[in-house]
A and B are shown apart, each in its own frame.
Chain A
Amino acid sequence: MVDRVLPKEQVSAFLDYLRRRYRLWAPVAQGGGFVFAEIDHPESIRLDYPTTMLPPKAAFLPPNEILLSIDMESLESAPPPAEDKPIALLGVHPCDLHGLMRLDMAMREEPSDASYVSARRGALIIGLACVHRCRPEAFCDSMETFRGAAGADLYLTPIEDGFWVEVRDGAEESLADAADCFRPPSDRQKREKDDINRQIDLEFSGRRLSLETLADDLEKTYTSSYWAKLADRCFSCGACTAVCPTCVCFDVRDDLAGGCKTADRCRSWDSCLLKDFAAVAGNENFRPKRHQRLRHRMMRQGSYLAKRFNLPAFCVGCGRCPAMCLGKISPLEAFEFSQKGRTVHV
């Protein structure tokens, strides 16, 4: 790890560099909120954003994509033409960095996902520290995902003169042409950065879970009547998984196009909350009931994938799902229930 400072007056030169070399994705304002989008005009970038509607995962795993097009006469098939430049994701908050790392584990698990791997190839991930909690529903403190740097090639912390930049070992060379933008940090800047880190630790000191035992505690609630009660507040709408940085489930469907001359193999995000998600041949459904689907999502976030990938949890506590859910269902509440045996507030 090398420490650098990106002075305010060098930021626009650095953005120009990024745009020459990468397809730059960053947060911009949209419809009263913020979204990650490919940047045409650097002045639209909003590094002061609290959080985005969809997570940055969409850069590598788009909500809808064509994996393959098949010519129905020759039956030749080809993936869509590759993009000319890799993606640079700028301004990724710590929870989303942890989300991207989990996404990577799931998508690269053998057999790895070809389309994802190709979209992710050569990407530059630039993290951005959170000094304040982005929204009251966020529980990155409890999930211990509020600290960054891991998962980022560069990790920015805002300081008075610009940004403190932690450069991951091995990432220096992706900056070679932009080396002029960066300065070695001064002692004063170092003290400022240490102060900010202390502030961050204070801001995010409200842990409410014992992560070490969460995966086991949660599984013990499997037969509890808690889930049916919680499901009274659930629409089975899938909004929670749609906004989740760590949900990776998708559907694949062949669509005919151009008067049936081509068939496109289309992939789109799916959701385990939806009624048809676990429907199989013979009119069977593994999870026909709403509470079974809701329980599955919580188990998946707090236990199943945590165990599979040797993590404390898969959920990163980004707070998107509790903020979006009209029934105000939060994984934190389910996780807490498993550890405290609290009754559900309906």
Chain B
Amino acid sequence: MKKLRVAFYSFTSCEGCQLTLLECEDRLLDVLGAVEIVRFREASSYEGGEFDADADIAFVEGSISTVHDESAARTVRSRSKKLVAFGACADIGGVNAIKNREGVETARERVYGPAAAWIHSSAARPLSAVVPVDAALHGCPVDKDELIRFIFAAAVGAKLPDPAAPVCFECKLRQTACVFQKGEVCLGPITRGGCKAICPAFGSGCDGCRGLAPDANLLLMRRLLKERGLDGSDLARRVDLFNAAALTEDQRRELIGHA
């Protein structure tokens, strides 16, 4: 059987999701045994063009926030049979989309100062805003075990089901004492699980990096957060950490109280 040709690409991101794969040290040889990696800049010395390979699956990290990102995403789409949004930035816009809420111009001036006029940037968008996406690996960063399972499944032509359970479900299986009940803020009840509830397990409430769970009860979340004293702009900041570009206007109204 011919090995699956896999490529890794990166747009506006911290490249932490690519690093997550490289950190699967004990499983890297297994991965190489199962698939052929045709592009992976972060892990190789290849100095040719970045988007010059045909692949069966392209894992695309990063959100789309420049014209270059946008045209490169189209190139990758046209040269890859399947496209995977690889991590929160590509999946839902992620942390990069915080700037969308304060205004792209303001953000550009803050970051580039006098050189701002030289730099093009747009609102940060998920990959799916620009090209059709076949699957997503959620999280900031992606979960190692889920990633490896995804790659092995793809190698035999299968696709992992998207986890539907909110973070709370795995949190209970892990027998973590609920940080929400301890008086802190946790977005676990409305956030898509699959991360093994790692943040609550280390004592910190979920920030929602995996995006909204299916059928999330946003009104209830808002009511409980308000009881916790989180409301208005503080609530918006918490939600916008990862989900500034991920919610529809209606969803924002339900969760935050305004769009």
A residues bordering B, Cβ < 8 Å? 30-33, 35, 53-54, 63-64, 232-239, 242-243, 253, 255-261, 269, 271, 274-276, 290, 324, 326-327
CA distance A199 to B219 in the complex (A): 44
- B183 in contact (CB, < 8 A): no
The main secondary structure of chain A at its interface with chain B is loop
What are the residues of chain B within 8 A of A243 when measuring CB–CB? 172
Q: Besides the contacts A235-B221, A236-B215, A242-B169, what 18 more A-B pairs have beta carbons closer than 8 Å?
A: A53-B177, A54-B175, A64-B173, A234-B220, A235-B190, A235-B220, A236-B217, A237-B166, A237-B188, A239-B168, A239-B171, A255-B149, A256-B152, A259-B34, A259-B152, A269-B173, A274-B165, A276-B164
> How many chain B residues have a CB neighbour from A under 8 Å?
39
The main secondary structure of chain B at its interface with chain A is helix
Output the nearest chain B residue to A279 by Cβ-Cβ distance: B164
Contact with A along B137-150 (1 / 0, CB 8 A): 00000000000010
What are the residues of chain B within 8 A of A260 when measuring CB–CB? 33-34, 152, 155-156
Count CB-based A-B contacts (< 8 Å).
105
- B224 in contact (CB, < 8 A): yes
Asked whether A275 and B172 contact (CB < 8 A) given A31-B177, A256-B149, the answer is: no
- Distance (Å) between the CB of B185 and the closest chain A CB? 12
- Distance (Å) between the CB of B116 and the closest chain A CB? 43
Question: Can you name 17 A-B residue pairings with CB atoms under 8 Å?
Answer: A31-B176, A35-B175, A53-B172, A232-B220, A237-B168, A237-B169, A238-B166, A242-B169, A255-B152, A256-B149, A275-B215, A276-B164, A290-B217, A324-B178, A326-B180, A326-B189, A326-B224
CA distance A127 to B28 in the complex (A): 47
User: Is B173 touching A242 in the complex (CB atoms < 8 A)?
Assistant: yes
- Distance (Å) between the CB of A261 and the closest chain B CB? 8
Output the nearest chain B residue to A255 by Cβ-Cβ distance: B149
User: Is B173 touching A236 in the complex (CB atoms < 8 A)?
Assistant: no
CA distance A238 to B214 in the complex (A): 13
Which residue in A30, A276, A326 is a CB contact (below 8 Å) of B161?
Answer: A276
- B130 in contact (CB, < 8 A): no
- Distance (Å) between the CB of B163 and the closest chain A CB? 9
What are the residues of chain B within 8 A of A30 when measuring CB–CB? 175
Output the nearest chain A residue to B224 by Cβ-Cβ distance: A326
Which residue in A233, A235, A275 is a CB contact (below 8 Å) of B168?
Answer: A235
- B104 in contact (CB, < 8 A): no
